[in-house]
């Protein structure tokens, strides 16, 4: 193999495929990136056997071929090279990387050992703007469970109907549901691993572009620009999330999102120990937020608009803070029923996002 390409293009591609290179693995070949050059293109591939990423750049292909280089080594080298043309050429057992006055010789890894990415039937197609998918991921990913005891909850549900696309993540204590109104020809239900969504979210463009999604029984493929991300899907049935959402509420407050976020964030300073919580006391137009610890006590007073009775209720502060952080809009509303039933947070005037959170029994 012998190619010439540009430093900036190459480092961008390396940064993309490095997102699928595992940081720890018992299979050393997975620490490598496969470079394949043919017909004017250099294709980079990486995989951790669950998630696979492939991206291509234009290159002057003098001699077609393939090679595998350790991801860290080639990343470190290219990052430090000047913004100029880079030549990559195989030479006996070595790979030579040349750029202006620099010449690196590194040992390649075995091309034969590098696993092939799964091929995916491209029949169940779905198309949506990149920024919308990125936003759906951002507003749900934080609620994905880390607990391997219920593996299905370590992923988020992607549910597609004719009129809308919904993404749902829940961990047993809270749930985030984000909907987008996009017309489609398909009805799809798939549970995508949290890790896949997290890396996909970093690759997606936040202002423009289109992403094509193909789903087979066990696999999903995202295609955008010159990059393809494939991932296995999680097996099993996702929880029927709709039945978790209360149909009614008794008390509703409306307040400024940023003020509420800041008050919870400060109250959480003294609720850092596990099991500690912040207590809401809603009295007429005032919401008192309190927490106690060995270090001391916090009391935050927040103005709210209220419908319904007064209420006392306690929460894990992190569950409020993380949701308020990703919400859009200046105002939010919170619906309560009793001190022991789930509460719902939404941005005012936005029916596309819903967050459910369970209270904790007060100490």
Q: Which residues bind a copy of itself (CB under 8 A)?
A: 70, 73, 76-77, 80-82, 94, 101-107, 262-263, 265-266, 269-270, 295-303
CB nearer to a copy of itself: pick between 269 and 340: 269
Shorter beta-carbon distance to a copy of itself: residue 104 or 241: 104
Closest approach, Cβ 115 to a copy of itself, in A, equals 23
**How far, in Å, CA of 91 to CA of 66, rounded?**
12
* Minimal distance, residue 296 CB to a copy of itself, in Å: 3
Cβ-based nearer residue to a copy of itself, 298 or 311? 298
Cα 326–chain centre separation: 12
Q: Closest approach of Cβ 255 to a copy of itself, in Å?
A: 12
Q: Which is nearer to a copy of itself, 64 or 269 (CB)?
A: 269
Task: List Cβ neighbours of 105 (8 Å cut-off, separation of 6 or more).
Answer: 91, 94, 95, 96
Please count the residues of the chain.
Answer: 363
Minimum separation from the CB atom of position 282 to a copy of itself (A): 14
Smallest distance, a copy of itself to C-beta of residue 318, A: 15
Measured between its terminal Cα atoms, the distance across the chain in Å is: 67
CA distances from 12 to 15, 27, 75 (A): 5, 25, 10
CA atoms within 13 A on the CB side of 121: 6
In the complex, least distance from residue 101 CB atom to a copy of itself, rounded to whole angstroms: 4
Q: Between residues 59 and 70, which has the closer beta carbon with respect to a copy of itself? A: 70
Q: Which is nearer to a copy of itself, 7 or 346 (CB)?
A: 7
Q: In the 8-state DSSP scheme, what is residue 342?
A: -
Q: Which residues contact 101 (CB under 8 A, 6 or more apart)?
A: none
Burial of 42 (0-12, 13-18, 19+ CB in 10 A): buried
Sign of the CA dihedral with 186 first, then 192, 196, and 199 last: positive
From 241, 289, 19, select the one nearest 143 (Cα to Cα): 241
CB 65 to a copy of itself: min, Å: 19
Q: 194 and 117 in contact (C-beta within 8 Å)? A: no
Give me the least distance between CB of 114 and a copy of itself, in Å please. 18
Q: How far is the CB of 301 from a copy of itself (least distance, A)?
A: 4
Residue 101 or residue 349: which is nearer to a copy of itself going by CB?
Answer: 101
Query: What tokens appear for 107 in the block?
Result: 């040992």
Q: Which is nearer to a copy of itself, 106 or 128 (CB)?
A: 106
Tell me whether residue 297 or residue 341 sits nearer to a copy of itself (CB atom).
Answer: 297
- ∠ CA 200-205-210, rounded to 5°: 90
Alpha carbon distance 220, 203 (integer Å): 16
The helix/strand/coil state of 76 is: helix
Task: Quote the tokens at residue 48.
Answer: 């951790």
């Amino acid at each position: 193999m012998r190619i010439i390409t540009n430093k900036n293009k190459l480092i961008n591609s390396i940064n993309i495929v490095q997102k699928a290179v595992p940081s720890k693995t018992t299979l050393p070949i997975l620490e490598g990136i496969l470079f394949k050059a043919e017909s004017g293109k250099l294709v980079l591939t990486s995989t951790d056997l669950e998630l696979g990423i492939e991206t291509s750049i234009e290159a002057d292909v003098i001699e077609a071929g393939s090679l595998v280089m350790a991801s860290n080594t080639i990343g470190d080298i290219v990052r430090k090279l000047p913004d100029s043309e880079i030549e990559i050429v195989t030479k006996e057992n070595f790979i030579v990387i040349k750029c202006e006055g620099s010449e690196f010789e590194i040992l390649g890894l075995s091309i034969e050992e590098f696993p092939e990415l799964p091929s995916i039937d491209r029949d169940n197609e779905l198309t949506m703007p990149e920024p919308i998918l990125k936003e759906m991921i951002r507003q749900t990913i934080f609620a994905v469970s880390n607990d391997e005891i219920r593996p299905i909850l370590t992923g988020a549900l992607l549910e597609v109907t004719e009129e809308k696309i919904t993404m749902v993540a829940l961990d047993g204590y809270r749930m985030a549901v984000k909907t987008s109104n996009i017309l489609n020809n398909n009805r799809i239900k798939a549970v995508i691993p949290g890790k896949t969504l997290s890396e996909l979210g970093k690759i997606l463009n936040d202002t423009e572009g289109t992403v094509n999604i193909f789903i087979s029984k066990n696999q999903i493929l995202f295609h955008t620009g010159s990059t393809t991300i494939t991932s296995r899907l999680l097996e099993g049935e996702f929880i029927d999330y709709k039945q978790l959402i209360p149909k009614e509420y008794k008390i509703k407050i409306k307040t400024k999102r940023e003020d509420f976020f800041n008050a919870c964030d400060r109250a959480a300073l003294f609720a850092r120990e596990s099991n500690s919580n912040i207590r809401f006391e809603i009295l007429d137009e005032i919401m008192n937020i309190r927490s106690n610890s060995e270090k001391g006590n916090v009391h935050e007073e927040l103005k709210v608009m209220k419908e319904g009775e007064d209420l006392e209720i306690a929460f894990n502060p992190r569950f409020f803070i993380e949701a308020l952080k990703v919400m859009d809009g200046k105002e939010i509303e919170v619906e309560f029923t009793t001190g022991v039933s789930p509460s719902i947070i939404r941005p005012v005037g936005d029916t596309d996002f819903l967050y459910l959170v369970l209270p904790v029994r007060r100490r």
